[in-house]
Structures are given as structure tokens and as C-alpha cells.
Amino acid sequence: MTATTLEAADRAHAFHPQTNLARHAETGPFVIARGAGVWLEDADGRRFLDGMAGLWCVGLGYGEPRLVEAARRQLETLSYGHGFGGRAHAPGIRLAEELAALLPEGLTRVFFASSGSEANDTAVKLAWYHWVARGEPERTRILARRRAYHGVTIAAASLTGLPMMHGGFHLPRPFVHHLTAPHRVQQARDGETEAEFTARLAAELEETIDRLGASTIAAFIAEPVIGAGGVIVPPEGYFAAIRPILRRHGILLIADEVITGFGRLGPMWGSTALGLAPDILTCAKMLTSGYQPLSAVCVSDAVFAPILEESGRRGGFGHGFTYSGHPVACAVAREVLALFAERDILGHVAAVAPRFQRGLAQLGQSPRVREARGLGLVGGLEMRAPADAARLEAAARAEGLIVRAVGGDTVALCPPLVITPAEIDDMLDRLARAFDRLDDA
Ligand SMILES: Cc1ncc(COP(=O)(O)O)c(C=O)c1O
């Protein structure tokens, strides 16, 4: 097929996710043909530095031969396998074991699904099942935050705190209660210090629990750093302030590490970087470097033990997917973990992240930018005029750089973890030229 007929077929038949479909009908698709390392190439041979690692997922870059080979080997050995009724296969068992060894302290058991949304839906169902098992079935509410992004299935979209994910879908469902976004530049009051803002958010949590009743609340869910809602780094001391409140009221903490897991913020887990100590942790994306759809819900013994007993009483645990722990996805994930160790990916992130954050802060000096923020190898530029975010994304593309407008006002950068210092400089230069384009327009 030539590029033109591909485009025509897309316009005629493709139904795009997370797309302005009306605009797309006029503009048509942006067709990517191939990728290698941090680079993508479109159907016309134009190259783009992928400053978003796909959708925050291609941690090890495109076309890594070791991952290709791991998938090929597993496809030949056992191309499909499942875990229903106690069935198992070596890649799934070994991955659960290897992942458990890396998890934040206290998390020991791993349930597999295919996407971040499925993982978060599963986390909600596990929290519910857990409380039913413990004789507190009225604990059904889940606390979440505005501007959080947890996915798009009915439960995950309800947890999400972005109006675009709710409008037209009869969402959020009423079991979710949203709290203030931990977003200092937008939510802190005039004259309020960072510490005072943190204290106010903690007080809001305490008041909400008192008002709704702790006995009605199953869990609180949070991304360590909010990603798709605008790369929002919480104020100093935020998790240290809310963690004891949740513990005191017996409310489970679910850490959504779909973006922050596997070194995005520096350490292996955002939970460690920001001090969450979760009872349940969900991860996906960089677990396979985006090469295969795979997510994991990781729980503590204390969460798991009542679930185990309840499944015995009921004669089964009624949850699981056809593709839970797909052997090819698990084989690729195992190879990702092996490469993390062999190539010291976390050491690389620690070495290059300061260069990235410094460059971002410099771009933040532009009068168009309200705040530059980030941690590790993720960053965001919140624009003073929200419309500038989409304009900057378009200008960057014209400069051969892919970034993404998120949360309605912020341009996100989240490059592959393997990006080199020279590629970081190249990425930031391209973004600087994109700013020039906005100024010249
Ligand atoms: C923090 C977070 N949670 C959940 C999801 C949903 O993942 P998926 O798109 O795989 O369903 C995303 C996707 O970007 C995410 O960023």
C-alpha cells in the first residue's frame, strides 16, 4: 500500500482512540512506519525524536533485538497459555517471582492483566473483594484526585479526574470521590507556602474521611507523580502527610505506577521515590517496554490472605482475563528486567536526568511557560495560555520532535530511558526551536 491509500483507508475505516474524531476526519492520520532507538520515521521517511517514548512506555527504545528475540523464542515454544483453574507456564511464574523480588517492601504477589486500565479495575475489585472477605462489605468508596489519569474502562475512567474522560459516558460512577489535585501552581492559595498547601490537602483528606465515614471507604488511589493529567509532582511532604491518615482509618493505598514504574522517576518505583508504601501497586507500559500488552497488580500478604480465604469459601476467585499473563508478554517482560540489570538502566537514568531537568528548567524561562516541572526522565511545561500546549506540540512536530499536550495546559516530555546526553540536547534544541516558531507565528 502507498502512503496515500493507507491514509484513505484510515479515514474510511479506522476509529481512533483519544482523538478529536471530527478534526481527524479533516486532517487524516500521522502514520508512523518504523522506529529504532529514540527515533521514529513516518510514511514519507521523515524522522522524529520520540520525546514521549510512545505513550510513556518504550523505555528501552524501539527495535531492541533482545526483546524481539525473546518474543520470537516464546512464540515458537508456547504461543498461548493461561492461568485459569491453576494452569500455569514458566514465563508467567518466573516473571511473578522476578517482579516480586524488585517490588517495594511488603508486596509479594502478582496478578497479570494486559493494560493499565485493566490493572486499575482489578485493583478496585481486589480492594472490594478484600473488604468483603474481612466482613466489611460496606467499604465500597474509592478516593482519587482530580487531574489523575488511571485509564478508560468504567472503573478506571471513574477514578480518573479529567472531565474529558467523563463527558458523554455517564462517568464517573458514584463509588469514586475526587479530592483536590496536588497541583501547587493552580491549587495553592495566595500566600500559602508549599508546606501549608500540603497540610491543607491532608486536612481535606481527613475531613472527607470523617464526612463519608471510614467504614465506607475501601481504598485511596494515586499516581506518585501524575502523568497524563499534566506531569504534576506533588508538593513537598504530600505522601508523608497522607500515608498515616490512610493507615489510621484502615484505608488501602493503591499506587498507580503505570507510568512511574521501572525507573521513570529515577528509582525503580515512584512509590520508593516519593514514600508511598502502597498496599497494592499497579504497573504496565515499561514492564515490557511497550513491546507487548502486559500489566501487573501487585499486593501485600495482608491484602492477599483474606482474598485467598474468601475464594475458598466461594468456590473460586471470579476475576481474570483470557490474556492474564500471556506467555509472550511475560517472556518479553523478563527480558526487559534482564536488560535493566545488565545495562544498569537505573544508573543511566540517574546520570542523565539532571541534564534533562536542567534543560527543561531553562525552557521554563520562556514567558509562555507558567511552570517547568518534573522528576527523573519525565517533565512538563505548563503553559500560561492553555492553548499554547497543543500549538507547541504541533510546532515541535514540525521540528522533528514528538511531545504531547496533556491535562489541557501542559506539554509532556517522557523520552525512552536509554536516551543519550547528546539526544537529550537534540530533543531540547528542537523544543527551543518549536518555541521560536510559536513566537514567529
Ligand atoms: C498512570 C496511568 N494509569 C493507567 C493508565 C491506563 O493504561 P492503559 O492505557 O494501558 O489502559 C495510564 C495510561 O496512560 C496511565 O498513565
DSSP 168-230: TTT-S-TTEEEE----HHHHSPTT--HHHHHHHHHHHHHHHHHHH-GGGEEEEEE-SSB-TTT
* Residue pLDDT, tens place only, 291-336: 999 999 999 999 999 999 999 999 999 999 999 999 999 999 999 9
Ligand 1 pocket, mutate which of 57, 149, 274 (most atoms under 8 A from CB): 149
- In this structure, the residue with its CA closest to atom 8 of ligand 1 is 116
| Omega cis (within 30) before 172 | yes
Rounded to two decimals, what is the model's pTM?
0.98
Centre of ligand 1 from the C-alpha of residue 103, in Å = 19
CA of 15 to the centre of ligand 1 (A): 19
Give, for ligand 1, the residue of 118, 258, 271 to mutate: max count of ligand atoms closer than 8 Å to Cβ: 258
Distance CA 385, CA 63 (A): 37
Would you give the DSSP letter of residue 383? E
Q: What is the pLDDT of residue 1?
A: 47
- What per-residue confidence (pLDDT) applies to 3? 56
Whole-angstrom distance, CA of residue 150 vs CA of residue 313: 32
62 Cα: distance to centroid of ligand 1 (angstroms): 20
Question: What is the reported pLDDT for 164?
Answer: 96
Pick out the chain residues at pLDDT < 70: 1-4
Q: Which atom of ligand 1 is nearest to the CA of 118?
A: 11
Distance 183 CA to ligand 1 centre (A): 20
Dist. CA 122–CA 119, nearest whole Å: 5
Distance, in Å, from the CA atom of 271 to the CA atom of 286, rounded to the nearest integer, reads: 16
- Please give the Cα distance from 209 to 101 (Å, whole number): 34
Q: Whole-angstrom distance between the N-terminal and C-terminal Cα of the chain? A: 36
**C-alpha Rg value of the chain to the nearest Å:** 22
Residues with CB under 6 A from ligand 1: 55, 115-117, 120, 149-151, 223, 227-228, 256, 258-259, 284
Distance, in Å, from the CA atom of 10 to the CA atom of 228, rounded to the nearest integer, reads: 26
Q: Which atom of ligand 1 is nearest to the CA of 148?
A: 1
Tell me how far the alpha carbon of residue 330 lies from the centroid of ligand 1, in angstroms: 19
Q: CA torsion sign, 234 to 239 to 245 to 251?
A: positive
**Centroid of ligand 1 to alpha carbon of 138 (angstroms):** 28
* Shortest-distance atom of ligand 1 to CA 117: 11
Question: Which pLDDT value is given to residue 439?
Answer: 86
Residue 252 CA, ligand 1 centroid: distance in Å: 20
The amino acid sitting at 187 is: Q
Dist. CA 366 → ligand 1 center (Å): 30
Instruction: Note the pLDDT of residue 2.
Output: 53
Q: Whose CA is nearest to atom 7 of ligand 1?
A: 116
Q: Could you give the domains of the chain?
A: 31-63+344-440 (3.90.1150.10), 67-342 (3.40.640.10)
Give every strand in the sheet of 280-283, ordered side by side.
Answer: 107-113, 295-300, 280-283, 252-256, 217-222, 141-145, 176-179
Q: Which residues pair with 372 in a beta bridge?
A: 381
CB neighbours of 259 closer than 8 A, spacing ≥ 6?
56, 223, 225, 227, 228, 285, 378, 414
Measured between alpha carbons, how far is 128 from 134 in angstroms, rounded to an integer?
Answer: 10
Residue nearest to atom 13 of ligand 1 (CA): 151
**Euclidean distance between CA atoms 263 and 13, whole angstroms:** 38
How far is the C-alpha of 350 from the C-alpha of 162, rounded, in Å? Answer: 31
What strand order describes the sheet that includes 410-413?
A: 369-375, 378-383, 410-413, 404-406
